[in-house]
Amino acid sequence: MFVLGIDPGLTRTGYGLVRRSRAYEAIAAGVIRTDPDLAMAQRLLELERDLSGVIAEHRPEVVAIERVFTNRNRQTAIAVGRASGVAMLTAARAGLLVHEYSPNEVKLAVTGDGAATKAAVATMVARRLQLGSVGGPADVADALAVAMCHLQQVRLAAGTRR
C-alpha cells in the first residue's frame, strides 16, 4: 500500500509518501508553503495546486490526514481547518479515499505514547523509516507519521479479520 500523509496547515502543509511491503519505506516528503501576504482564497488555491501536483507525480493509493483539533488559538484552528478541507477536496477530486487520524492516534501509532513530543515523533519516524533524520520542519515528520499511522491501522484491521 502507498499512502500520502498530510499534516495540514495554511502557512506550511507537510506531506509524506510512505510505502509498505515488508517494511516502511519513505518515497518522498516535503512542505508546501503559501505566501502569507496573499489573500486567503489565493493561498488555498496555491495549496490545492501544489497538492494536486504531488498526487499527480506520485500517484498514492490513499490519503491520510491529521484531523484538526481545537486549539487555544481560534484563528490557527480555522486556518488549519481550511487547509484540511482543501487537502480532502484535492484527494477526493483525484479519486482517492481519505482517512483522518487525531494527533494522539498518530503519536500512539508511531511512538507507543499518545502524548509524545514532536521530537519523539520525529525520532521514531526516522528510526522506523531507517533515515538518519527527517529533514525540514516538524510538519514533514508529522506527515510521514500520519502515513505510517494509516498503514499500521490497515495492518491491524487486516489482522483482526483473520
Q: Which residues are catalytic?
A: 7, 66, 139
Using the 8-state DSSP alphabet, how is residue 91 labeled?
A: H
Q: Which residues lie below 8 Å from residue 40, measured CB to CB, with a gap of 6+?
A: 82
- Output the nine-digit C-alpha cell for 153: 491501522
Kindly report the number of other CB atoms within 10 A of residue 25's CB atom.
13
Q: Which residues lie below 8 Å from residue 80, measured CB to CB, with a gap of 6+?
A: 8, 9, 10, 68, 71
Helix (H) or strand (E) run with residue 17 in it? strand 12-20
- Residue 106's nearest CA partner among 87, 96, 120, 88 is 120
